[in-house]
Structure 1
Amino acid sequence: MSHTRYTTTILEDWVTSFYLKIKIRTPDDISEDYIAKQNEIYIKRANIPSRYDVIGSFRSITIDIRKDKLLQREIFFHELCHILRHSGRQGMIPEAFRQLQEWDSCNFVRYAAIPNHMLHFIDFNEPFVIEQMVKMFKVTPELCTERLMQIEKRRNLQKFTRSFTINFLKI
């Protein structure tokens, strides 16, 4: 797989815009502490389940330190999405709306961990591309695999759509 442009999602564009606004341009710039500081979010690392809290203007993310270090980073992005993009207490909103927020957070994790505007740092022809991505973006191999599959799937869909449109127009 080579890195070629594909049509990004609205959420992907949102993440890129968010990162560029706070001057995150390279994989080394992605730092939970920096992102939290730029957004006035307190981070607590403790032996308790991960969560986010918004109480008035106070915003915090608790990260369970019993989890693997790479997974902790993904948990941070998940909880960050809830703070930045969602409203309401999850325990008090309709189940369908809660599921929508969880779906949004899962997608946000992929884009925040391995943002579109940083894909050019990845050597897609490298035989150990997953290991390269794990080291570069400091996330789990599973998330790297998901992101690569998502990129490839979208590129293939885009090729199919172009081909279909061209053939349809010939009719």
Structure 2
Amino acid sequence: MQTLYPTTALEDWVTEFYLRMKIYRPNQIDEEIIAKRHAIFLHKKPYPSFYQIVGRYRGITVDNRVLKTIQREQFFHELCHLLRHAGKQSKMPHSFRILQEWDSYHFTKYAAIPHHMLKFVDFEDPYVVDIMSGMFKITPDLCIERLEDIKRRRLLLGKEMTSCAQS
């Protein structure tokens, strides 16, 4: 089944990020390897997740008290901050901080279920959420959000094609 829909710039960025690391399949997405390839120290401790940059040190700490699927999602969220954002959130204007959090939220969905891996998903399967959750090792909630995004974009594409045909 074709999964064509208009991708976002962020979605394309994530796909290129994975392709540069030669990550093509869901089972290749590994937080430890991704962190290592980007010289990021990954820690699992009983604290809320956060990222840290001190000089040349870059680290991500995820909360080891939560499920592995949630730890994975926390990793992607903090990874986005490390790779794509600058500045100290506590010292920036509120609207800029909100923009960074919006970016991290969407990055998490795209990093967890990248566009170039959608070809491995059977969207017609009645258990698609459970299958995706297991395949990508993330929560069913995140799978549902990603599926809703995909559905919206496919509908948008259909509407654009319909309006082009009517012109």
Q: Please tell me the residue identity of whatever aligns with 1:160.
A: K
Alignment of 1:89-168 (within 5 A): 89-167=88-166
CA distance in 1: counterparts of 2:157 and 2:23, whole angstroms = 28
Matching residue of 2:11 = 12
Q: Secondary structure at the match of 1:146?
A: helix
Q: Please tell me the residue identity of whatever aligns with 1:109.
A: T
CA distance in 2: counterparts of 1:6 and 1:49, whole angstroms = 35
Matching residue of 1:26 = 25
Gaps of 5+ in 1: none
TM-score normalized with structure 1 length: 0.95
CA distance in 2: counterparts of 1:60 and 1:157, whole angstroms = 39
Q: Secondary structure at the match of 1:133?
A: helix
**Residue-by-residue CA offset, 1:19-75 (whole Å, 9 max, x unaligned):** 010111100100000000000000111011110001121100001111121111000
Displacement after TM superposition at 1:4 (Å): 2.6
Q: Secondary structure at the match of 1:103?
A: helix
CA distance in 1: counterparts of 2:2 and 2:54, whole angstroms = 42
Gaps of 5+ in 2: none
Displacement after TM superposition at 1:126 (Å): 1.1
CA distance in 1: counterparts of 2:131 and 2:37, whole angstroms = 28
CA distance in 2: counterparts of 1:142 and 1:3, whole angstroms = 24
Shift >6 Å, 4+ stretches: none
Displacement after TM superposition at 1:154 (Å): 0.3
How many residue pairs get aligned? The number is 167
Superposed CA RMSD:
0.9
Displacement after TM superposition at 1:157 (Å): 0.7
Matching residue of 1:52 = 51
TM-score normalized with structure 2 length: 0.97
CA distance in 2: counterparts of 1:90 and 1:57, whole angstroms = 19
| Residue 85 of structure 1 pairs with residue 84 of structure 2 | yes
| Residue 41 of structure 1 pairs with residue 40 of structure 2 | yes
Matching residue of 1:69 = 68
CA distance in 1: counterparts of 2:106 and 2:136, whole angstroms = 16
8 Å contact kept, 2:46–2:63: yes
CA distance in 1: counterparts of 2:23 and 2:3, whole angstroms = 22
CA distance in 2: counterparts of 1:67 and 1:90, whole angstroms = 24
8 Å contact kept, 2:44–2:62: yes
8 Å contact kept, 1:3–1:124: no
CA distance in 1: counterparts of 2:56 and 2:11, whole angstroms = 27
CA distance in 2: counterparts of 1:80 and 1:134, whole angstroms = 20
